[in-house]
Amino acid sequence: MRRPRRRGPATPAHASPVHRPRSNQVLSSVSALCTRVRFSAAASIWKPTMPDPPDQPVPEPLTIDLEHPSTSTIVCTVRGDIDLATETTFRAGLERTVGTAPTIVVDLGEVTFIGSIAIAIIIDVLQRLSDFQTLKVVTGRSSATVFDMIGLNETADCFPDRSTI
């Protein structure tokens, strides 16, 4: 039986597989990879780290303003991102309104990002309202789609802007 013919340069018998000569193409691709990825040592384990992100605008912090336009209404205006990082601020702002007025208006018109935690907090507040209180949500552009997709606009009174309340 005939042995298959080897392709490429023959490796000398005295050379170990570790010291095989490598082509310039392989070396250049390895060096290019090493220059793009930085490594950091932690607990003697090497982990790749991401390169520095490009300059991006820093998201504005979450702010909540409470207004009392009348004795029967309290308006909670929310600005910024609502996510896990701002959960406690958003929850505290909404919980402060429970029991204070018969009508609570949550204005999300200036919210730039709404995460699932915001929906959970709004549902929690809806469940804690007394029988004489109502919650009205001004969804705005960024959160209207979310409210429609999950059907929260059928549970809560949702409005596209303040003028339609």
* CATH code for the domain of 98: 3.30.750.24
Co-location of 34 and 92 in the same domain: no
Judging by DSSP bridges, how do beta strands 38-42 and 45-49 pair with one another? antiparallel
**How does pLDDT run along the chain (165 residues), one tens digit per residue?**
566 666 655 555 555 555 555 555 544 554 444 444 444 444 445 555 666 666 666 666 899 999 999 999 999 999 999 999 999 999 999 999 988 999 999 999 999 889 999 999 999 999 999 889 999 999 987 788 889 899 888 888 999 988 888
pLDDT score, position 35: 46
The structure's pTM equals 0.63
Give Cα separations from 142 to 24, 111, 137, 139 (angstroms): 52, 7, 13, 7
Q: Residue holding tokens 């309290």?
A: 74
Note whether residue 5 is domain-resident.
no
Residue count (the chain): 165
Pair of tokens at residue 26: 């392989």
Give the chain's domain count.
2
Co-location of 73 and 39 in the same domain: no
pLDDT score, position 94: 94
- Give me the domain span that covers residue 41: 23-49
Distance (Å, whole) CA 112 – CA 85: 14
Note whether residue 16 is domain-resident.
no
Co-location of 44 and 88 in the same domain: no
Distance (Å, whole) CA 3 – CA 143: 69
